[in-house]
């Protein structure tokens, strides 16, 4: 990896998601597409089918975007099982200072999915990761707004989607797909900025405690 000035390797971003029935998987692919658009090296990982190689990808990634469906008002059990498998890494600080972000999807318009995003952000904080918010104002919140607005559900902490419970994954809302694509681009931008900052030489004295 070359770390001199603006000439720096593409950031590596992994999308670690759980989807019971394929709807949230569509959103994971959208985050991945946005990250690729922005120049990241991207790997999409279904956390209920982790291989040893997948763990290596997560350990080596500059940034990880976590995503899952909201089940019973929180992260799905499939995601939580994965989260609990990271206990040793959490203790060792293996993912410290990586970039993190999150997305979720539910059947109800609210679905209490803020609780899921909060859980994902806390999970990232437990790993001492840097949480990146969505970076969009709320859509669909005025007389001129519509359900086709970016961030139509008006979330700040991460990307949220709502999928009617009786539709197929192909029918995930295009505005939610676009919002997730935005998140992928944003995470890549922040990751690149952080990588560039780390590559810049910082005088040792500047980090010394004041006496």
Name the residue nearer to ligand FMN (CB basis): 106 or 151. Answer: 106
How many Cβ atoms sit within 10 Å of the Cβ of residue 86? 18
- Smallest separation, CB 106 to ligand FMN (Å): 3
Q: Per-residue DSSP letters for 102-136? A: EEEEESSSSTTHHHHHHHHHHHHHHTT-EE-----
Name the residue nearer to ligand FMN (CB basis): 106 or 191. Answer: 106
Query: Closest Cα partner for 67 from 192, 181, 154, 149?
Result: 181
Q: Round to whole Å and give the CA distance between 116 and 25.
A: 16
Work out the angle at residue 182's Cα, subtended by the Cα atoms of residues 114 and 82, and round it to the nearest 5 degrees. Answer: 50
- Smallest separation, CB 79 to ligand FMN (Å): 10
What is the contact surface with ligand FMN in residues (CB under 6 A)? 19-24, 69-73, 105-108, 111-112, 163, 165
- Cα Rg for the chain, rounded, in angstroms? 17
Name the residue nearer to ligand FMN (CB basis): 39 or 107. Answer: 107
- Smallest separation, CB 74 to ligand FMN (Å): 7
- Smallest separation, CB 108 to ligand FMN (Å): 3
Three-state DSSP class for 72? coil
Name the residue nearer to ligand FMN (CB basis): 53 or 166. Answer: 166
The one-character DSSP state at 64 is: E
- Smallest separation, CB 61 to ligand FMN (Å): 22
201 burial via Cβ count (<10 Å: 0-12, 13-18, 19+): exposed
Residue nearest to ligand FMN (CB): 111
Name the residue nearer to ligand FMN (CB basis): 10 or 183. Answer: 183
- Smallest separation, CB 189 to ligand FMN (Å): 26
Determine how β-strand 7-8 pairs with β-strand 12-18: unpaired
Name the residue nearer to ligand FMN (CB basis): 25 or 121. Answer: 25
């Amino acid at each position: 990896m070359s770390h001199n000035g603006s000439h720096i390797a593409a950031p590596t971003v992994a999308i670690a998601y759980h989807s019971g029935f394929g709807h949230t998987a569509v959103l994971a692919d959208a985050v991945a597409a946005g990250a690729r658009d922005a120049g990241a090296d991207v790997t999409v990982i279904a956390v209920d089918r982790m291989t040893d190689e997948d763990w290596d990808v997560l350990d080596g990634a500059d940034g990880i975007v976590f995503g899952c469906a909201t089940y019973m008002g929180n992260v799905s059990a499939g995601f939580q099982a994965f989260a609990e498998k990271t206990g040793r890494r959490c203790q060792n600080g293996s993912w410290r200072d990586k970039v993190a972000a999150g997305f979720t999807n539910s059947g109800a318009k609210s679905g209490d999915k803020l609780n899921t995003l909060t859980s994902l952000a806390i999970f990232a904080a437990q790993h001492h990761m840097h949480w990146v918010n969505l970076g969009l104002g709320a859509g669909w919140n005025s007389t001129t707004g519509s359900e086709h607005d970016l961030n139509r559900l008006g979330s700040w902490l991460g990307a949220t989607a709502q999928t009617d419970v009786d539709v197929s994954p192909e029918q995930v809302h295009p505005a939610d797909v676009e919002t997730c694509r935005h998140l992928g681009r944003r995470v890549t931008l922040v990751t690149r900025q952080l990588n560039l900052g780390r590559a810049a030489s910082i005088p040792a004295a500047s980090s010394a405690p004041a006496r």
